[in-house]
Amino acid sequence: MNLAVKTYTTGEIAKICGVNFRTVIRWIEKGYIEAYKLPGRGDNRVTEDSLVKFLKNNNMPIPSEIETVNKRVLVVDDDEKMARAISRTLKKAGFDTDIAHNGFIAGSKLEVFKPAVMTLDLKMPGISGLEVIHYVQNSEQLVNLKILVVSAQDQKELDEAVQKGASDALSKPFKNSELVARVSQLIGVN
Amino acid sequence: MNLAVKTYTTGEIAKICGVNFRTVIRWIEKGYIEAYKLPGRGDNRVTEDSLVKFLKNNNMPIPSEIETVNKRVLVVDDDEKMARAISRTLKKAGFDTDIAHNGFIAGSKLEVFKPAVMTLDLKMPGISGLEVIHYVQNSEQLVNLKILVVSAQDQKELDEAVQKGASDALSKPFKNSELVARVSQLIGVN
DNA sequence: GCTCAACCTGTCTAACCTGTCAAATGTAAT
DNA sequence: ATTACATTTGACAGGTTAGACAGGTTGAGC
């Protein structure tokens, strides 16, 4: 259990943003940066999430120390062999992977594992790939998640998936190098 | 019956609040945080209630792990009518509900909505209720989640679900009062 | 190109809160 | 007993706040 949350003071943020800490306080007062106050004198504290959100909103450079490059990929496929094959290939390429064999586990792990990319088999029993895409599209938590459809279905279905919101599609069978290339591109763009 | 009351030391609170433990001690001295002292050296202990009260008073982020009264129920059923009926009944009884029509959404909402109880239809297309129970049992994030199986299957199946880890089981059709009673009991015990 | 107002930012101050350090002491595990 | 670790306390250095004021930037109007 990790309860600790990294927080930043106005002084630290001032250095990160290259401005005076007085200015940071004003940004907080105006609501540009989300912060909470300590009981004593009312010192401001900003969580890492809030800071990153602020920096992104304003296209400000994010220091590498606090930018957690997310190289996690969740492999969703009910075919265990296929899932392991994909996972192995991606692991070799330096990605951090996890596997979900059904929709329930996929949904759960999306929130816990927090992958940057999900490879999705369109045709899984009891669950429609398009439904999953639609759900992700409309979920606030998952706006940054990229979906790479991996399916044996014909090109028309793949195109539809991309049109409905998947980031990319790959038809089975595929070359491992092609898989790695697609995932790399999706994560690189991020 | 659970007699133990979770308490926090100054060091733990310091991590949660992102400050030095010396500061936490000063907050206690000034009465910002309600605490009691151990007989030996006078170590401070803060109950979970006191800590949450303090965090709320100061608009500080509350770690989800220590969230207190949780009256949220996630209704998992692919039959939309049935799901809405269950949800409506529980809402009337004062619970906070959300609905998931398939396994994927269920898994996802479990992590976001963080319910205390999940009502689970055993027989959903493409996903085995027992599989879900097994997954929840082995998930660190979901140890406190209670599962109330709601199903039209025969008693043998219900018994098996309970034996495999469900907290309780209710056979369809059921009386609304019975549903509320079961959920209330599961949440009350918590 | 110029002026002006509006606004944001940097600097300074006093007050005081917070972090750090060290030594002492209690607690838990071996 | 002995060890390792967490907590307390005091003292001190350093950081943070709010207000006031000066300097700099921006954009509109001429």
Each residue's pLDDT tens digit, A11-41 = 999 998 889 999 999 999 888 999 999 988 8
Q: Is the model's pLDDT at A114 over the cut of 50?
A: yes
Q: Is the model's pLDDT at B1 over the cut of 70?
A: no
pTM of full prediction above 0.85: no
- The span from the CA of B68 to the CA of B48, in Å, is 8
pLDDT given at position A70: 80
B11-42 as b/e: b if 16+ CB within 10 A: ebbbbbbbbebebbbbbbeeebbebeeeeeee
Least confident of A62-66, B31-35, B112-116, B154-158: A62-66
Confidence band, pLDDT 50/70/90 cuts, at residue B3 = very low
Interface residue of B23, B33, B104, B128 to substitute, partner A, most A CBs within 10 Å: B104
- The span from the CA of A142 to the CA of B119, in Å, is 25
- The span from the CA of B79 to the CA of B100, in Å, is 10
- A126 or A85: whose pLDDT is higher? A85
Q: Is the model's pLDDT at A190 over the cut of 70?
A: no
Q: Is the model's pLDDT at A99 over the cut of 50?
A: yes
Nucleotide nearest to B43 (CA to C1'): D7
Here the contacts of A41-44 (C-beta below 8 Å, separation 24 or greater) are A43/A9, A43/A10, A44/A9, A44/A10
Of B146, B107, B109, B143, whose CA–CA distance to B127 is shortest? B107
The Cα-based distances of B153 to A127, A166, B75, B156 in angstroms read: 22, 37, 18, 8
Nearest residue of B to residue A125, measured between CA atoms: B126
CA dihedral (A58, A63, A67, A71) positive or negative = positive
CA dihedral (A130, A131, A136, A138) positive or negative = positive
- The span from the CA of B74 to the CA of B117, in Å, is 6
pLDDT per residue as tens digits for the range B76-99? 998 999 999 999 999 999 999 999
- B125 or B30: whose pLDDT is higher? B30
- The span from the CA of A108 to the CA of A99, in Å, is 11
Q: How far is B17 from chain A (nearest CA, A)?
A: 8
- DSSP-derived 3-state class of residue B4: coil
Amino acid occupying residue A155:
Q
Q: Is the model's pLDDT at A189 over the cut of 60?
A: no
CA of B115 to C1' of C22 (A): 47
Number of neighbouring beta carbons within 10 Å of residue B8: 22
Confidence band, pLDDT 50/70/90 cuts, at residue B190 = very low
* C chain positions with any atom within 7 Å of a protein CB: 8-12, 16-21, 25-27
- The span from the CA of A131 to the CA of B104, in Å, is 9
Q: Is the model's pLDDT at B2 over the cut of 50?
A: no
Q: How far is A91 from chain B (nearest CA, A)?
A: 23
Tokens 């996903």 -> residue: B127
Q: Is the model's pLDDT at B50 over the cut of 70?
A: yes
The domain over range B72-187 is classified in CATH as 3.40.50.2300: yes
pLDDT given at position A45: 92
